[in-house]
Amino acid sequence: MNEPTPDRTAEGRTVLLRGGEVHSPADPFATAMVVERGAIAWVGSEGAADSFADGVDEVIQLDGALVTPAFTDAHVHTTATGLALTGLDLAGARSLADALARVRAHAAARPEDRVLLGHGWDASGWPEGRPPTRAELDEAGGGRPLYLTRVDVHSAVVTTALLDLVPGVSGLAGYHPDAPLTGAAHHAVRATAQASVTARQRADAQRAALARAASLGIGSLHECAGPEISGEEDFTGLLKLAAEEPGPRVFGYWAEAAERAADLEKVRALGALGAAGDLFVDGSLGSHTACLHRTYADTSHTGTAYLDRAAVAAHVAACTEAGMQAGFHAIGDAAVTDVVEGVRAAAERVGLARVRAARHRVEHAEMMTPETIAAFAELGLTASVQPAFDAAWGGEDGMYAQRLGAERARTLNPFAAMLRAGVPLALGSDSPVTPLDPWGTVRAAAFHRTPEHRVSVRAAFTAHTRGGWRAIGRDDAGVLVPGAPADYAVWRAGELVVQVPDTRVADWSTDPRSGTPGLPDLTPGGQLPVCVRTVVGGRTVHLRPDE
């Protein structure tokens, strides 16, 4: 494939791509596409492409490559993702001893860091079956301040030296003398740890995360920020960096509750699309803080509730009246119920049609029931979901089964039922909780560990491309049709196929008469597509070396 330098596909140039497979509903057999002034101008056949060849600024020979809309990751923590990429990442630690060895090595390699930061430990899969004690961390970190988040980012283990920097932490909810911190205690310690990150470190981390996203064919990210997550300076700095430098688009959400429309002026001033994202109604299953109707299988409580349905109702009503999206983080079935009842109460106050039109969203929405699924559809709620959660923690022996028991665990992440009911899905990673990995995310949805929750590759792909745009209120993007933004990715992929849970549908869909465009074979164990080029608004933001 001939490759120009990145700036030659900038906005304003007219480019013809030909000789490949263009995934477009405008023409299921398209092999060529024209991009003009940052938008898709035409898609069609190779023969028709001849008429454009002399009138464009550039012709790119695809050599059989696949062209698709760029992915949208609908839930990301960009700076934290970058810090994990550039710092201490414990996601690969296979034991407590391995994790402690990695801490020692990281501390030795970073003698100048005032506070050591790390992420990704998950003791549920370690042979020791427990996280490190404070004494073990004090020794491994050499007595320095150290902050290590669990993989779900809802709890953390820390050293004594870091606790000493947080006055009054022992009196806060969620403080445990020698166990992971949760709740208010965790938030206070996190704020202190993040304050140690310099502006340059933060910008470098953001650039690293955006570059990784672009290299994976991701054209846009939904940043889920908030006062308990990252801070205003981090949020506004990210939006500024993304606007000024070539890379994926960043759409920001700020998770701060409002009681009236006037409370949302700060959200607007920060440049956020909505008061949504990780506005916590509860916590996570791994940290035992997701709020349940019945007790956990491996402990005697039902988790933690941060917002009740009255607070949800007030927030949704305020956002709806202000013409802004509302949204919440809700994982446990009790938390999801509180969201549904709160949104329904808001609809009674301001009108169902206005609530539906606002496209409010719920992050994660893991423990759904037939009743809450129906309510999501009725209220027009978008479910921003992470299929990689099931791949990581589902199954008969996974963390979900440990926390909930096998019967309840099998009900989690019911994507097929949600789609059948008409619930809009937007797929994401919650990176760094799970890695940026769009094709892996599509695979996880199509090959869900619970077979009845599986969806077709095409449905999952649509939810990971067009679904993310629809979640921000844009119906004209995330698809390769004339007039849509020229956000696309070029892939080296194997044979294109149609994969659906029902083989009868698959048999018809692969018949040429069906006109169903194929997608890469995502059967587990096989190689995922490799991104050759990512383009955002007609501008190349990633170019694979040596292509």
Q: Given pLDDT bands bounded at 50, 70 and 90, which one contains residue 222?
A: very high
Q: Is 70 exceeded by the pLDDT of residue 10?
A: no
Phi then psi for residue 103, to 5 deg, are: -65, -45
Sorted by sequence, the CB contacts under 8 Å of residue 444 that are 6+ apart come out as: 387, 388, 390, 391
Tokens of 532: 């050759």
> Average pLDDT, stretch 444-465?
97
pLDDT at 286: 93
For residue 206, the tally of other CB atoms under 10 A from its CB is 25
Measured between alpha carbons, how far is 255 from 232 in angstroms, rounded to an integer?
11
> Average pLDDT, stretch 118-123?
90
Q: Given pLDDT bands bounded at 50, 70 and 90, which one contains residue 501?
A: confident
pLDDT at 206: 97
Please state, for a pLDDT cut of 70, what percent of the chain lies above it.
95
pLDDT at 511: 54
Tokens of 476: 């004209």
Q: 547 or 70: which carries more pLDDT confidence?
A: 70
Phi then psi for residue 181, to 5 deg, are: -80, 140
DSSP string, 167-214: TTGGGSTT--TTS-B-HHHHHHHHHHHHHTS-HHHHHHHHHHHHHHHH
Lowest mean pLDDT among 61-65, 240-244, 504-508: 504-508
Q: What is the CA radius of gyration of the chain?
A: 23
Q: Is 50 exceeded by the pLDDT of residue 8?
A: no
> Average pLDDT, stretch 498-505?
68
| Residue 308 DSSP one-character state | -
Q: Given pLDDT bands bounded at 50, 70 and 90, which one contains residue 11?
A: low
One-letter amino acid identity for 418? M
pLDDT at 254: 98
Averaged confidence pLDDT in the chain? 93
Q: 509 or 160: which carries more pLDDT confidence?
A: 160
Q: Is 50 exceeded by the pLDDT of residue 146?
A: yes
pLDDT at 514: 58
Q: Given pLDDT bands bounded at 50, 70 and 90, which one contains residue 174?
A: very high
pLDDT in tens, 329-373: 999 999 999 999 999 999 999 999 999 999 999 999 999 999 999
pLDDT at 12: 72
With contact defined as beta carbons under 8 Å apart, do 29 and 75 qualify? no
> Average pLDDT, stretch 77-99?
91
Measured between alpha carbons, how far is 103 from 208 in angstroms, rounded to an integer?
22
With contact defined as beta carbons under 8 Å apart, do 102 and 141 qualify? no
pTM tops 0.75, yes or no: yes
For residue 353, the tally of other CB atoms under 10 A from its CB is 10
Phi then psi for residue 150, to 5 deg, are: -65, 165
Sign of the torsion formed by the C-alpha atoms of 497, 503, 505 and 510: positive
Catalogue the long-range contacts made by 99-104 (C-beta closer than 8 Å, 24 or more residues apart): 99/126, 99/132, 100/132, 100/136, 100/137, 100/140, 101/140, 103/137, 103/140, 103/141, 103/146, 103/148, 104/140, 104/141, 104/142
pLDDT in tens, 366-391: 999 999 999 999 999 999 999 999 99
The residue with tokens 């990751």 is 73
Q: Is 90 exceeded by the pLDDT of residue 539?
A: yes
Beta strand segments in 361-495, E:
361-364, 382-385, 425-427, 488-492
